[in-house]
Structure 1
C-alpha cells in the first residue's frame, strides 16, 4: 500500500514526472550516477550550445571528478575530464580557462575549477536526417534573448548563450535546463484577477514553512527546487538580505514551497521536511550550500543523508515517509494552480514576479505596489 502511495505521489509531483526527469540519467541504467550524474548528463546533452559547434566536434565531456588534497579541503569545485581529438588537444588546452567559465556560467555556480584532457576518438554527432532541426523562436523571444545576452563581453560566450537561449525557446525545456532558462527567457507575468482556487493557493497554509510575523503587511512565496543552481544562489546571496530588510523588520513574511524539478530534488525535499518545522530553514540552507557536493556524488541521496546526519537530522527513514511526500505534493499542486513553470519563482503579494533579483529589486516591487 505504501509503495503504491509513493508511486502515485511521484507521478503527481508537478504532473510532469517524465518531462522533468528527461534530462537525467535514469536510475539503474548502466553508468548512472558515476562520474558526475545529472550535471554530467546535462553537459553532454548541451555541450555544443555551451562551447560552440567547432569545439564540440573535437571534444566530449567524459566525467566529473572530485577534487583531492588541499583543493578539496578548501571546497574547490570538480574537475571535468574532457575527451579530445588529438589534433585539437593543444588548442583546447589553451582555451581551458575560458571553457571553465562557460561551464560554470551554464550552471549558474562554480561546478568545476579545472579541465583535464584525455586524448581519444570522438563519437560522431547524429546524422542530420535523424536530428530534426528545432524551429526558430518567435520574434519576441528572439528579441528577449538578444537583450539578455547584450551585456556579456566575451563574444564567443555571448554567441553560445544566445544559441542555448534559442534552443530553450524552441524546445520548451526551460525547467530541465534549470536556471539558465530563467536567465534568458524570464517572462513578464500577465496581470489578471486570481481565481478562487488561485487565491487559496496564494494564502499562507497551516503546513507552510514561514519566516516573519503573522501581521506583516507583505507576503513573499518562493517556489524552489533543491537541484536548481539559481535557487541555491538565491538562498546564499539574496535570502539573507530579504530576511534582514523585510522579514526581521516586520515588513514581510517569507514562505518556502517545494517545486522539485527532478527525482533527486524530490528526495532532497523529503530530507528537508525530515528536519521538522524548527529545523527546516537551516536544513534547506545546508543543502543549498553543499549542492555541488551531493549533486555530483555517485549516490546523491546517500551523500545528502550523510551531510544531514552530521547535523543531527535522522535521515534514515525520510525517503520512505509518505507523510513527507504528501507535503511536497501539496506544495507542487499549489504551484501548478498558480502556473509555476520554473524555479525559483517568487509571488510577491500575489503577483508572479519570477526571479526578480536581489533585495533591492524586491524592495522596488514593494514600493511600486505602494506597500
Structure 2
C-alpha cells in the first residue's frame, strides 16, 4: 500500500510543479492558493442524488468520477490519482469531485451499498478502505467456487449478504468503528439497490458512460480518458490556463 501512496504523492508534486511558473501555493493570491479560512476542502463531503460530492461546493471546476468497485483500473486511479487531487486541487478548494458508482455486476451492488452506508462525512473512509483493498477481496471472489460466484452475481438480498460476509467486506468497515448492524442493514436494503441501478441507467443516458473509470469535467464526458495518466495533463492544462 505504501508504494501507490508514494506514487500519488509524487504525481501531486508533478502537478504542482508543472504550473509553478503561473502559481505559487504559498501565495494567497495564487490560483491554487487556498482562500482565507477555506479549511481543508478535501474533507468536505455531501451526498448527492447519484453519488458523493467532495470539496468546495463553490469551486468553478467540477469533475465527476465514474467508478466500479470491481474495476482494477478504478482501484489504480484511487490509489494514485485521488491522493494527488486531495493535495493539489481539492484541499485548496479549486475543484470538486463527485464520485458516482457504476454497477457492472452483483458484487458491485454489495460493495457500493457498503460504501454509501452511513454518515456522508465518512464516505471517503469507506470508499478508500474498500477500493484500496480490492486486490484482496476480489482475488478471493475469483478463487471461489463457481456455485458461490453465481450466488454473488445474482445481486439479490441473499447474494449481497453472502458476498459481504464471505469476502470480509462488512468486517473491513466494522474494524474502522462502524456498526455491524448498520452495515448489515445497508447491504439488505433492496430499495437502495434499485436506486443504484436507476442511477446507473441515468448516467448512461446522460453521459454515455460505457467503461470505468471515466470522467466528466464541467458536465461533459472526457473522451478516451480512463486513467490518472490521461486525466492529469487535462487538469494541468485547465488550471494553468485559469492562472494565465
Which TM class, normalised by the smaller chain length?
Answer: 0.5 to 0.7
Residue of 177, 187, 191 corresponding to 1:312: 177
Q: Please, which of 156, 161, 164 is the counterpart of residue 301 of structure 1?
A: 164
Contact kept? 1:225, 1:344, Cα under 8 Å: yes
CA contact (8 A) 1:294 1:300 kept: no
Which structure 2 residue ranges, 5 or more long, are not aligned? 3-46, 145-161
TM-score, normalized by length of structure 1?
A: 0.42
Query: How far apart are the structure 2 equivalents of 1:330 and 1:252?
Result: 27
4+ residue runs of structure 1 moved beyond 3 angstroms? 204-208, 367-371
Alpha-carbon distance in 2 for matches of 1:254, 1:341: 19
* Structure (1 or 2) with the greater helix fraction: 2
Residue 341, structure 1, aligned to residue 210, structure 2: yes
Q: Is the 8 A contact 1:274 1:324 kept in 2?
A: no
1:14-62 CA-to-partner distances (Å, cap 9, x unmatched) read: xxxxxxxxxxxxxxxxxxxxxxxxxxxxxxxxxxxxxxxxxxxxxxxxx
1:56-90 residue CA offsets vs partner (Å, 9 max, x unmatched): xxxxxxxxxxxxxxxxxx99xxxxxxxxxxxxxxx
Counterparts of 1:323 and 1:211, CA distance in 2 = 25
In structure 1, what is the equivalent of residue 35 of structure 2? none
Query: How is 1:177-192 mapped onto 2 (pairs within 5 angstroms)?
Result: none
Aligned residues: 170
Q: Please say if 1:220 is aligned against 2:63.
A: yes
* Partner residue in 2 for 1:137: none
CA distance in 1, matches of 2:135, 2:232: 27
Give the deviation of 1:311 after TM superposition: 1.6
In the other structure, the counterpart of 1:266 is 109
1:296 is displaced (CA, Å) by 2.3
Deviation at 1:357, TM superposition (A): 2.2
Question: Which residue is equivalent to 2:54?
Answer: 211
Q: How far, CA to CA, are the matches of 1:276 and 1:243 in structure 2?
A: 20
RMSD of aligned residue pairs (Cα, Å):
2.6
In structure 2, the CA distance between the partners of 1:368 and 1:340, relative to structure 1 (3 Å rule), is farther
Rounded Cα–Cα distance in structure 2 between residues aligned with 1:269 and 1:347: 20
Query: What is the distance in 2 between the residues matched to 1:205 and 1:277?
Result: 10
* SS of 1:223 mapped into structure 2: strand
Distance 1:365 1:323, change over 3 A: farther
How far off is 1:334 after superposition?
A: 2.8
* Secondary structure of residue in 1 paired with 2:63: strand
Distance in 2 separating the partners of 1:365 and 1:228: 27
Q: How does 1:1-371 map to 2 (within 5 A)?
A: 205-206=48-49, 208-297=51-140, 298=144, 300-302=163-165, 303-313=168-178, 314=180, 315-337=183-205, 338-353=207-222, 354-358=225-229, 360-367=232-239, 370=242
Matched residues in 2 for 1:333 and 1:228: separation?
Answer: 18
Q: What runs of 5+ residues in structure 1 fail to find an aligned partner?
A: 1-73, 76-203
Distance in 2, Cα, partners of 1:324 & 1:276: 15
